[in-house]
Amino acid sequence: MKGIILHGGAGTRLRPLTFSGPKQLIPVANKPISQYVLEDLKSIGVVDVAIVLGETFPELVMQHYGDGSRFGVRITYVNQGKPLGIAHAVYLCKDFVQDDGFIVYLGDNLLQNGVKNYFEKFLINDYDCMVLLKEVEDPSRFGVAEFDDKGNLVRLVEKPRVPRSRFALVGVYFFKPIVFEVIKGLKPSWRGELEITDAIQTMLEKGFRVGYSIVDGWWLDTGKKDDILYANSLILDEYGVRSIRGELVESKVDGRVSIGEGSKIVNSTVRGPAIIGNNCVIQNSFIGPYTSIGDNVKVLKSSVEYSIVLEGACVESIDRLEESLVGRNAKVIRNTARNSVRLHVGDYSEIEL
Protein backbone atom coordinates (compact mmCIF):
# COMPACT_ATOMS: atom_id res chain seq x y z
CA MET A 1 0.00 0.00 0.00
CA LYS A 2 1.00 3.57 -0.68
CA GLY A 3 -0.21 6.80 0.84
CA ILE A 4 -1.24 10.14 -0.62
CA ILE A 5 -1.49 13.22 1.61
CA LEU A 6 -3.35 16.15 0.08
CA HIS A 7 -1.61 19.36 1.14
CA GLY A 8 -3.35 21.91 -1.10
CA GLY A 9 -6.21 24.34 -0.68
CA ALA A 10 -6.14 28.05 -0.01
CA GLY A 11 -7.26 27.85 3.62
CA THR A 12 -9.40 30.96 3.27
CA ARG A 13 -11.25 30.30 6.53
CA LEU A 14 -7.95 30.44 8.43
CA ARG A 15 -6.69 33.74 7.06
CA PRO A 16 -4.59 35.69 7.88
CA LEU A 17 -2.46 32.73 9.04
CA THR A 18 -2.69 31.09 5.63
CA PHE A 19 -1.35 34.19 3.89
CA SER A 20 2.08 33.02 5.04
CA GLY A 21 1.82 29.23 5.10
CA PRO A 22 -0.42 26.24 4.30
CA LYS A 23 -3.17 25.41 6.77
CA GLN A 24 -1.91 21.84 7.19
CA LEU A 25 1.31 23.12 8.79
CA ILE A 26 -0.52 24.98 11.56
CA PRO A 27 0.61 23.19 14.73
CA VAL A 28 -1.71 21.41 17.12
CA ALA A 29 0.01 20.55 20.43
CA ASN A 30 3.19 21.90 18.77
CA LYS A 31 3.05 19.49 15.81
CA PRO A 32 1.78 20.32 12.29
CA ILE A 33 -1.62 18.79 11.56
CA SER A 34 -0.38 16.95 8.49
CA GLN A 35 2.40 15.37 10.53
CA TYR A 36 -0.23 13.49 12.53
CA VAL A 37 -1.52 12.21 9.18
CA LEU A 38 1.95 11.10 8.10
CA GLU A 39 2.55 9.36 11.42
CA ASP A 40 -0.79 7.58 11.16
CA LEU A 41 0.17 6.21 7.74
CA LYS A 42 3.58 5.16 9.05
CA SER A 43 1.93 3.34 11.98
CA ILE A 44 0.12 0.95 9.59
CA GLY A 45 3.24 0.25 7.56
CA VAL A 46 2.75 2.73 4.72
CA VAL A 47 6.23 4.10 4.03
CA ASP A 48 5.91 5.31 0.42
CA VAL A 49 3.99 8.57 0.61
CA ALA A 50 3.20 11.22 -1.98
CA ILE A 51 2.44 14.72 -0.73
CA VAL A 52 0.35 16.70 -3.21
CA LEU A 53 1.33 20.37 -3.03
CA GLY A 54 -0.91 23.33 -3.68
CA GLU A 55 -0.20 27.00 -4.39
CA THR A 56 0.18 28.10 -0.77
CA PHE A 57 3.91 28.08 0.10
CA PRO A 58 4.68 24.53 -1.08
CA GLU A 59 8.35 25.17 -0.29
CA LEU A 60 7.49 25.28 3.43
CA VAL A 61 5.97 21.80 3.17
CA MET A 62 9.09 20.46 1.46
CA GLN A 63 11.28 22.21 4.00
CA HIS A 64 9.46 20.58 6.91
CA TYR A 65 9.19 17.02 5.56
CA GLY A 66 12.28 16.81 3.34
CA ASP A 67 12.72 13.34 1.87
CA GLY A 68 10.79 11.83 4.77
CA SER A 69 13.77 10.00 6.27
CA ARG A 70 13.51 11.64 9.68
CA PHE A 71 9.92 10.35 9.85
CA GLY A 72 10.83 6.86 8.69
CA VAL A 73 9.14 7.17 5.28
CA ARG A 74 10.00 7.97 1.65
CA ILE A 75 8.28 11.09 0.36
CA THR A 76 7.54 11.98 -3.25
CA TYR A 77 6.24 15.48 -3.99
CA VAL A 78 3.53 16.01 -6.61
CA ASN A 79 2.64 19.56 -7.68
CA GLN A 80 -1.05 20.23 -8.25
CA GLY A 81 -0.89 24.01 -8.19
CA LYS A 82 -4.42 25.34 -8.63
CA PRO A 83 -7.08 23.52 -6.58
CA LEU A 84 -8.82 21.52 -9.34
CA GLY A 85 -10.41 18.95 -7.05
CA ILE A 86 -9.47 15.93 -4.97
CA ALA A 87 -9.96 13.56 -7.90
CA HIS A 88 -7.59 15.68 -9.98
CA ALA A 89 -4.99 15.56 -7.19
CA VAL A 90 -5.36 11.78 -6.96
CA TYR A 91 -4.98 11.34 -10.72
CA LEU A 92 -1.69 13.26 -10.65
CA CYS A 93 -0.33 10.45 -8.45
CA LYS A 94 -0.97 7.71 -11.02
CA ASP A 95 2.72 7.19 -11.81
CA PHE A 96 3.57 7.17 -8.12
CA VAL A 97 0.91 4.57 -7.27
CA GLN A 98 1.47 2.28 -10.28
CA ASP A 99 -0.19 -1.08 -9.48
CA ASP A 100 -0.50 -0.73 -5.71
CA GLY A 101 -3.52 -0.08 -3.55
CA PHE A 102 -3.40 3.27 -1.81
CA ILE A 103 -4.86 5.53 0.85
CA VAL A 104 -5.80 9.16 0.20
CA TYR A 105 -5.69 11.22 3.39
CA LEU A 106 -6.56 14.92 3.56
CA GLY A 107 -3.75 16.72 5.36
CA ASP A 108 -6.05 18.75 7.59
CA ASN A 109 -8.04 15.80 8.97
CA LEU A 110 -7.49 14.16 12.35
CA LEU A 111 -8.95 10.83 13.50
CA GLN A 112 -8.89 9.90 17.17
CA ASN A 113 -8.21 6.22 16.54
CA GLY A 114 -6.33 6.50 13.25
CA VAL A 115 -7.03 4.37 10.17
CA LYS A 116 -5.64 0.97 11.21
CA ASN A 117 -8.98 -0.85 11.60
CA TYR A 118 -10.38 0.58 8.36
CA PHE A 119 -7.21 -0.28 6.48
CA GLU A 120 -7.53 -3.90 7.58
CA LYS A 121 -11.20 -3.99 6.56
CA PHE A 122 -10.32 -2.67 3.09
CA LEU A 123 -7.76 -5.43 2.62
CA ILE A 124 -9.85 -8.26 4.07
CA ASN A 125 -12.92 -7.45 1.96
CA ASP A 126 -10.89 -6.85 -1.21
CA TYR A 127 -12.81 -3.65 -1.98
CA ASP A 128 -12.08 -1.57 -5.06
CA CYS A 129 -12.86 1.48 -2.96
CA MET A 130 -13.76 2.15 0.65
CA VAL A 131 -14.88 5.40 2.22
CA LEU A 132 -15.12 6.51 5.83
CA LEU A 133 -18.28 8.16 7.13
CA LYS A 134 -19.17 10.07 10.28
CA GLU A 135 -22.55 11.33 11.51
CA VAL A 136 -22.45 15.13 11.74
CA GLU A 137 -24.81 17.93 12.73
CA ASP A 138 -24.58 19.84 9.44
CA PRO A 139 -24.01 17.35 6.60
CA SER A 140 -24.67 20.02 3.93
CA ARG A 141 -21.05 21.15 4.40
CA PHE A 142 -19.70 17.81 3.20
CA GLY A 143 -20.10 15.02 0.71
CA VAL A 144 -23.08 13.01 2.02
CA ALA A 145 -23.79 9.28 1.81
CA GLU A 146 -27.20 7.85 0.91
CA PHE A 147 -28.25 4.27 1.69
CA ASP A 148 -30.94 1.83 0.58
CA ASP A 149 -33.32 0.01 2.95
CA LYS A 150 -30.69 -2.67 3.57
CA GLY A 151 -28.04 -0.18 4.59
CA ASN A 152 -26.05 -0.47 1.35
CA LEU A 153 -24.25 2.63 0.11
CA VAL A 154 -26.02 3.70 -3.08
CA ARG A 155 -25.15 7.34 -3.65
CA LEU A 156 -22.77 10.14 -2.72
CA VAL A 157 -23.75 13.78 -3.13
CA GLU A 158 -21.34 16.70 -2.73
CA LYS A 159 -22.67 19.41 -0.36
CA PRO A 160 -26.40 18.78 -0.96
CA ARG A 161 -28.89 21.50 -0.08
CA VAL A 162 -31.22 18.90 1.41
CA PRO A 163 -29.09 15.99 2.73
CA ARG A 164 -30.67 12.52 2.62
CA SER A 165 -28.64 11.39 5.63
CA ARG A 166 -26.43 12.81 8.36
CA PHE A 167 -23.41 10.74 7.34
CA ALA A 168 -20.60 12.82 5.90
CA LEU A 169 -17.56 11.67 3.96
CA VAL A 170 -14.46 11.78 6.12
CA GLY A 171 -11.32 12.91 4.32
CA VAL A 172 -9.83 9.41 4.05
CA TYR A 173 -10.32 7.15 1.01
CA PHE A 174 -9.00 3.69 0.12
CA PHE A 175 -8.61 2.74 -3.56
CA LYS A 176 -7.30 0.18 -5.96
CA PRO A 177 -5.61 1.65 -9.08
CA ILE A 178 -8.78 1.05 -11.15
CA VAL A 179 -9.98 4.43 -9.85
CA PHE A 180 -7.60 6.17 -12.27
CA GLU A 181 -9.60 4.90 -15.26
CA VAL A 182 -12.77 6.20 -13.61
CA ILE A 183 -11.27 9.64 -12.92
CA LYS A 184 -10.03 9.81 -16.52
CA GLY A 185 -13.66 9.84 -17.69
CA LEU A 186 -14.90 12.50 -15.27
CA LYS A 187 -16.03 15.98 -16.25
CA PRO A 188 -15.50 19.03 -14.01
CA SER A 189 -18.34 19.91 -11.66
CA TRP A 190 -20.03 23.30 -11.52
CA ARG A 191 -17.12 24.34 -9.27
CA GLY A 192 -14.68 23.57 -12.08
CA GLU A 193 -13.22 20.67 -10.11
CA LEU A 194 -12.95 16.93 -10.57
CA GLU A 195 -14.93 15.68 -7.59
CA ILE A 196 -13.89 12.55 -5.73
CA THR A 197 -17.56 11.98 -4.90
CA ASP A 198 -18.29 11.78 -8.65
CA ALA A 199 -15.52 9.21 -9.07
CA ILE A 200 -16.86 7.03 -6.26
CA GLN A 201 -20.44 7.45 -7.49
CA THR A 202 -19.34 6.25 -10.92
CA MET A 203 -17.74 3.22 -9.29
CA LEU A 204 -21.01 2.46 -7.52
CA GLU A 205 -22.99 2.75 -10.73
CA LYS A 206 -20.59 0.51 -12.65
CA GLY A 207 -20.77 -2.24 -10.06
CA PHE A 208 -17.35 -1.93 -8.47
CA ARG A 209 -16.98 -3.18 -4.90
CA VAL A 210 -17.40 -0.01 -2.83
CA GLY A 211 -17.46 -0.41 0.95
CA TYR A 212 -17.76 1.96 3.85
CA SER A 213 -17.04 2.17 7.57
CA ILE A 214 -18.48 4.43 10.23
CA VAL A 215 -15.67 6.17 12.10
CA ASP A 216 -15.33 5.42 15.81
CA GLY A 217 -14.21 8.25 18.07
CA TRP A 218 -13.82 11.84 17.04
CA TRP A 219 -13.03 13.14 13.59
CA LEU A 220 -11.86 16.70 13.04
CA ASP A 221 -11.79 18.64 9.79
CA THR A 222 -9.57 21.51 10.92
CA GLY A 223 -10.67 24.18 8.49
CA LYS A 224 -11.44 27.03 10.91
CA LYS A 225 -9.88 28.68 13.96
CA ASP A 226 -12.33 27.08 16.38
CA ASP A 227 -11.65 23.66 14.81
CA ILE A 228 -7.91 24.14 15.35
CA LEU A 229 -8.36 25.13 18.99
CA TYR A 230 -10.73 22.23 19.61
CA ALA A 231 -8.29 19.79 18.02
CA ASN A 232 -5.53 21.23 20.19
CA SER A 233 -7.58 20.66 23.34
CA LEU A 234 -8.49 17.09 22.39
CA ILE A 235 -4.93 16.07 21.57
CA LEU A 236 -3.52 17.68 24.71
CA ASP A 237 -6.22 15.97 26.75
CA GLU A 238 -5.66 12.57 25.16
CA TYR A 239 -1.90 12.49 24.64
CA GLY A 240 -0.52 15.11 27.01
CA VAL A 241 2.31 13.98 29.32
CA ARG A 242 4.28 15.55 32.11
CA SER A 243 7.83 16.34 30.99
CA ILE A 244 9.78 19.20 32.55
CA ARG A 245 13.06 19.78 30.69
CA GLY A 246 13.19 23.53 31.17
CA GLU A 247 14.01 25.59 34.27
CA LEU A 248 11.46 26.46 36.94
CA VAL A 249 12.13 29.55 39.08
CA GLU A 250 9.62 30.14 41.87
CA SER A 251 6.95 28.66 39.66
CA LYS A 252 4.22 26.03 39.96
CA VAL A 253 3.42 23.40 37.33
CA ASP A 254 0.23 21.36 37.79
CA GLY A 255 -0.74 18.23 35.91
CA ARG A 256 0.30 17.05 32.45
CA VAL A 257 2.57 19.83 31.28
CA SER A 258 5.44 19.47 28.80
CA ILE A 259 8.15 22.15 28.95
CA GLY A 260 10.92 22.05 26.36
CA GLU A 261 14.67 22.46 26.70
CA GLY A 262 16.04 25.92 27.28
CA SER A 263 12.68 27.30 28.43
CA LYS A 264 12.50 29.30 31.65
CA ILE A 265 9.36 29.60 33.77
CA VAL A 266 9.72 32.46 36.25
CA ASN A 267 7.24 33.36 39.00
CA SER A 268 4.45 31.75 36.98
CA THR A 269 1.86 28.99 37.09
CA VAL A 270 1.35 26.46 34.32
CA ARG A 271 -1.73 24.23 34.56
CA GLY A 272 -2.12 21.25 32.25
CA PRO A 273 -2.81 19.79 29.93
CA ALA A 274 -0.46 22.20 28.18
CA ILE A 275 2.72 22.21 26.16
CA ILE A 276 5.51 24.79 26.04
CA GLY A 277 8.21 24.50 23.39
CA ASN A 278 11.95 25.07 23.54
CA ASN A 279 13.70 28.32 24.51
CA CYS A 280 10.57 30.07 25.78
CA VAL A 281 10.32 32.65 28.55
CA ILE A 282 7.19 32.58 30.71
CA GLN A 283 7.43 35.27 33.37
CA ASN A 284 4.90 36.59 35.90
CA SER A 285 2.21 34.77 33.96
CA PHE A 286 -0.44 32.07 34.04
CA ILE A 287 -0.63 29.41 31.31
CA GLY A 288 -3.96 27.65 31.57
CA PRO A 289 -5.25 24.29 30.36
CA TYR A 290 -5.44 23.42 26.67
CA THR A 291 -2.73 25.85 25.65
CA SER A 292 0.13 25.18 23.24
CA ILE A 293 3.13 27.51 23.23
CA GLY A 294 5.59 27.12 20.33
CA ASP A 295 9.37 27.51 20.41
CA ASN A 296 11.03 30.86 21.24
CA VAL A 297 7.83 32.43 22.61
CA LYS A 298 7.72 35.08 25.34
CA VAL A 299 4.70 35.37 27.64
CA LEU A 300 5.18 38.23 30.09
CA LYS A 301 2.75 39.48 32.75
CA SER A 302 -0.13 37.71 30.98
CA SER A 303 -2.73 34.99 31.33
CA VAL A 304 -3.19 32.62 28.38
CA GLU A 305 -5.75 29.82 28.24
CA TYR A 306 -7.27 27.50 25.60
CA SER A 307 -5.05 29.04 22.94
CA ILE A 308 -2.26 28.33 20.47
CA VAL A 309 0.72 30.69 20.34
CA LEU A 310 3.08 29.93 17.46
CA GLU A 311 6.86 30.14 17.48
CA GLY A 312 8.58 33.44 18.02
CA ALA A 313 5.47 35.27 19.23
CA CYS A 314 5.32 37.64 22.19
CA VAL A 315 2.35 38.16 24.51
CA GLU A 316 2.82 40.89 27.09
CA SER A 317 0.59 42.51 29.72
CA ILE A 318 -2.60 40.78 28.55
CA ASP A 319 -4.90 40.16 31.52
CA ARG A 320 -6.72 37.27 29.85
CA LEU A 321 -6.01 35.89 26.39
CA GLU A 322 -8.35 33.01 25.62
CA GLU A 323 -9.66 31.04 22.64
CA SER A 324 -6.96 32.67 20.51
CA LEU A 325 -4.65 31.66 17.69
CA VAL A 326 -1.53 33.83 17.57
CA GLY A 327 0.72 33.56 14.51
CA ARG A 328 4.48 33.18 14.20
CA ASN A 329 6.53 36.17 15.39
CA ALA A 330 3.38 38.13 16.18
CA LYS A 331 3.29 40.57 19.08
CA VAL A 332 0.25 41.10 21.31
CA ILE A 333 0.92 43.88 23.80
CA ARG A 334 -1.50 45.78 26.02
CA ASN A 335 -0.95 49.48 26.67
CA THR A 336 -4.29 50.24 28.35
CA ALA A 337 -6.49 48.43 30.86
CA ARG A 338 -8.57 45.72 29.20
CA ASN A 339 -10.56 42.64 30.11
CA SER A 340 -10.86 39.34 28.21
CA VAL A 341 -9.46 39.29 24.66
CA ARG A 342 -10.15 36.88 21.76
CA LEU A 343 -7.88 37.02 18.74
CA HIS A 344 -6.95 35.36 15.44
CA VAL A 345 -3.59 36.88 14.64
CA GLY A 346 -1.52 36.26 11.54
CA ASP A 347 2.24 35.73 11.32
CA TYR A 348 4.46 38.77 11.87
CA SER A 349 1.51 40.87 13.10
CA GLU A 350 1.69 43.35 15.96
CA ILE A 351 -1.31 44.31 18.08
CA GLU A 352 -1.39 46.86 20.86
CA LEU A 353 -4.42 46.86 23.17
**Residue 133 and residue 178 in one domain:** yes
Residue 272: the pLDDT is 92
Largest CA distance in the chain: 69
CA gap 41, 52 in Å, rounded: 15
Residue ending a domain, among 235, 261, 289, is: 235
**Residue 143 and residue 208 in one domain:** yes
CA dihedral 37, 258, 69, 313 (to 10 degrees): 80
**Residue 197 and residue 99 in one domain:** yes
Angle in degrees, CA 344, 349, 353, rounded to 5:
75
Residue 6: the pLDDT is 93
Residue ending a domain, among 235, 253, 278, is: 235
What single letter denotes the amino acid at residue 85? G
Tell me the residue range of the domain where 283 lies. Answer: 240-352
**Residue 98 and residue 228 in one domain:** yes
Residue 221: the pLDDT is 76
pTM: 0.88
Residues 6+ apart with CB under 8 A from 326: 307, 308, 309, 310, 313, 315, 332, 343, 345
Taking a C-beta distance cutoff of 8 angstroms, is the pair 7, 50 a contact? no
**Residue 217 and residue 282 in one domain:** no
Residue 16: the pLDDT is 58
Residue 90: the pLDDT is 95
Residue 226: the pLDDT is 80
What's the structural domain count of the chain? 2
**Residue 226 and residue 272 in one domain:** no
Taking only the tens of pLDDT, the chain with its 353 residues reads 999 999 866 555 555 555 556 778 888 999 999 999 999 999 999 999 999 998 877 899 999 999 999 999 999 999 987 878 899 999 999 999 999 999 999 998 889 999 999 999 999 999 999 999 998 888 887 888 888 888 888 888 888 788 778 898 898 999 999 999 999 988 888 787 888 999 999 999 999 999 999 999 888 877 677 888 998 999 999 888 999 999 999 999 999 999 999 999 999 999 999 999 999 999 999 999 999 999 999 999 999 999 999 999 999 999 899 998 888 888 888 866 555 666 666 655 556 56
Q: The domain that contains 83 carries what CATH number?
A: 3.90.550.10
**Residue 139 and residue 68 in one domain:** yes
Taking a C-beta distance cutoff of 8 angstroms, is the pair 197, 159 a contact? no
**Residue 46 and residue 183 in one domain:** yes
**Residue 196 and residue 79 in one domain:** yes
Residue 64: the pLDDT is 94
Residue 101: the pLDDT is 93
Q: The domain that contains 254 carries what CATH number?
A: 2.160.10.10
b/e code 233-248 from CB counts within 10 Å (16+ = b): bbbbeeebeeeeebeb
Taking a C-beta distance cutoff of 8 angstroms, is the pair 261, 277 a contact? no
Residue ending a domain, among 177, 208, 235, is: 235
**Residue 189 and residue 171 in one domain:** yes
**Residue 110 and residue 63 in one domain:** yes
**Residue 287 and residue 212 in one domain:** no
